[in-house]
Amino acid sequence: RLGLPNKAFSYLKSHGALDIEHVDFFKGLMNRIERPDDQQQIIHSARCFYQLYGDIFRELGRRAAVTQAA
């Protein structure tokens, strides 16, 4: 939709396999957290980061739409 070349996604494509390892590593760490307050803080932080990371791509799409409309 943005008309970007395939090489523009090389980081995302190569990083996908690493993400599986990162999730497994994070899961192992989280399974060691026993205090409910700590668990809730980690969950809250993860949700915030998830939203912010997604916002990067939503903003790119918004800017591309504005640029194409101009």
Per-residue pLDDT tens over the stretch 11-51: 877 777 778 888 899 899 989 999 999 999 999 999 999 99
Sign of the Cα torsion 31, 35, 41, 44 reads: positive
CA distance 36 to 30: 11
Domain containing residue 51: 9-69
Q: How confident is the model at residue 1 (pLDDT cuts 50, 70, 90)?
A: low
Number of structural domains in the chain: 1
Label residue 28 left, alpha or beta by phi (over 0 means left) and psi (-120 to 50 means alpha).
alpha
For residue 54, is it within any domain?
Answer: yes
Report whether pLDDT(2) > 80: no
Query: Which bin fits 60, alpha (ψ -120 to 50), beta or left (φ > 0)?
Result: alpha
**Residue 3 resides in a domain:** no
* Domain contains 47: yes
Total H helices, total E strands in the chain: 2, 0
